[in-house]
Amino acid sequence: MTEIFEGIPAIRYEGKDSDNPLAFKYYDADRVILGKKMSEHLPFAMAWWHNLCAGGTDMFGRDTADKSFGASEKGTMEHARAKVDAGFEFMQKLGIKYFCFHDVDLVPEADDIKVTNQRLDEISDYILEKMKGTDIKCLWGTANMFGNPRFMNGAGSTNSVDVYSFAAAQIKKALDLTVKLGGRGYVFWGGREGYETLLNTDVKFEQENIAKLMHMAVDYGRSIGFTGDFYIEPKPKEPMKHQYDFDAATAIGFLRQYGLDKDFKLNIEANHATLAGHTFQHDLRISAINGMLGSIDANQGDTLLGWDTDEFPFNVYDATLCMYEVLKNGGLTGGFNFDSKNRRPSYTKEDMFYAYILGMDTFALGLIKAAEMIEDGRIDKFIEEKYASWKSELGQKIRNNETSLVELAKHAEEMGAPELPGSGRQEYLEAVMNNILFK
Ligand code: XLS
Ligand code: CA
Ligand code: CA
């Protein structure tokens, strides 16, 4: 087997004083933090689409990066196999144990789904061969139900029964592949599930149909032995003006309304949370308190740009607050998928590695610092004290549903004006975080 990333060694941990760009400064797979190895806290995954398929095309210009990986022609099965070779070499050199894929990331799509499915059978056999002798597995699979023109009016939300059936066929196959490759999860990102104008849209009908498709996916998945979680990946806009899975809270409401909440959790992407006007941490917390924090798409947006830039994460504050939520959640059943892409002028093979080293080190630092925040205890202590009045007899009666407006009103009348509720101490707590981050 010829080496594709020639000259790039296996990436090792060298510590923070190393200036070797092809080494980890913080990600030390075997280091134990709060009783678990870093590699167990951080099941990193490679996104097939960005890393092996995307060459930097944007609406103003074509690819800058050559992702042919030695294949003589792109868009062929030879190219599909070359991507597998490149992907496995890449993951092995970085010590990444998982990958995520869309059906059409793996093989060129034919007009006839039977042909596409044969290609998928062939490539998944090849991937299975590659997996042997490694500990690399699939984190999650999905079907691309947004790129092809047939999905212009949605997949589960489409007006066309034929397009809906086509989407069903793609999900069925993508589930087969996910199970075949040992996937932990299956993702629904509703790319075209939304609308531009209510003048042409029956929202209730569309949402009901999306739920029906998800129910059929659960039934089929369970029937073929898929025991993992299904995920909704919320996103507020882009491509549609209004997307049905706007944010974590909206997606949770949808899952509960349609009885899908036992089989589904959420895959929270940082850049999608910020597009929804939330912090990454907010959508993680909303998912976690509802028992639905499943997996994470690790990336970041640009505060000066209002679109989905899918940048490799370097913001240590956000990564720390993310890992704080993950640790408080007791970890994830899913993992950390780098749904991130190199910037267009970062087009070399080295750049692919630099990007993953950046992302993995950022989350490793986030993990180290989040664990320190928890061990430090000042933040937890503040929160406990902030709500101390609820430990009073009356507070407990409210919590246990043992009181009424009449009793509370009587209490209010007897006490006169209440004292101010106590400082929120935001600046103090932000200083605590800085203190921990930079000590
Ligand atoms: C696009 C989404 C997509 C999903 C998988 O914005 O992030 O890549 O993760 O379909
Ligand atoms: Ca994104
Ligand atoms: Ca994503």
Structure confidence at residue 406 (pLDDT)? 98
Structure confidence at residue 3 (pLDDT)? 97
* Bond prior to 418 in cis (omega within 30° of 0): no
Query: From ligand 2's centre to the CA of 270, what distance in Å?
Result: 8
* Tens digit of each residue's pLDDT (9 = 90 or more) over 389-432: 999 999 999 999 999 999 999 999 999 999 999 999 999 999 99
Average pLDDT estimate for 201-207? 98
Query: What residues sit around ligand 2, an ion, with C-beta below 5 angstroms?
Result: 271, 308, 310
Please give the mean pLDDT across all residues of the chain: 98
* Bond prior to 313 in cis (omega within 30° of 0): no
Q: How far apart are CA 321 and CA 369, in angstroms?
A: 9
Query: From ligand 3's centre to the CA of 339, what distance in Å?
Result: 5
Q: Tell me the percentage of the chain whose pLDDT exceeds 90.
A: 100
* E runs forming strands in 205-281: 229-232, 242-243, 264-269
Structure confidence at residue 187 (pLDDT)? 99
Structure confidence at residue 1 (pLDDT)? 74
Atom of ligand 1 nearest to the CA of 102: 10
Residue with tokens 């205890």: 377
Structure confidence at residue 33 (pLDDT)? 98
Question: 92 pLDDT exceeds 80?
Answer: yes
For the record, the structure tokens of 287 come out as 């998912």
Atom of ligand 1 nearest to the CA of 238: 6
Catalytic hit among 85, 103, 105, 308: 105
Does residue 44 come out as left (phi exceeding 0), alpha (psi in the -120 to 50 range) or beta?
Answer: beta
Residue 105 designated active-site = yes
Question: 374 pLDDT exceeds 80?
Answer: yes
* Tens digit of each residue's pLDDT (9 = 90 or more) over 147-197: 999 999 999 999 999 999 999 999 999 999 999 999 999 999 999 999 999
CB 332 near ligand 1, within 6 Å:
no
Residue 318 designated active-site = no
Catalytic hit among 79, 102, 272, 282: 102
Q: Are 136 and 98 contacting, i.e. CB atoms less than 8 angstroms apart?
A: yes
Query: From ligand 2's centre to the CA of 432, what distance in Å?
Result: 31
Average pLDDT estimate for 247-269? 98
**Per DSSP, what are the bridge partners of residue 311?**
300
Ligand nearest to the CA of 190: 1
Q: How far apart are CA 310 and CA 302, in angstroms?
A: 9
Q: Which element (helix H / strand E) includes 320?
A: helix 316-328
CB 297 near ligand 1, within 6 Å:
yes
Structure confidence at residue 414 (pLDDT)? 97
pTM above 0.95? yes
Query: From ligand 2's centre to the CA of 275, what distance in Å?
Result: 9
Average pLDDT estimate for 94-111? 98
In this structure, which residue's CA is closest to atom 7 in ligand 1?
339
Q: CA triplet 41, 280, 211: central angle to 5 degrees?
A: 90
Instruction: Sketch out the chain's domains with CATH numbers.
Output: 35-375 (3.20.20.150), 379-438 (no CATH)
Nearest C-alpha neighbor of 300 from the set 292, 287, 310: 310
Question: 15 pLDDT exceeds 80?
Answer: yes
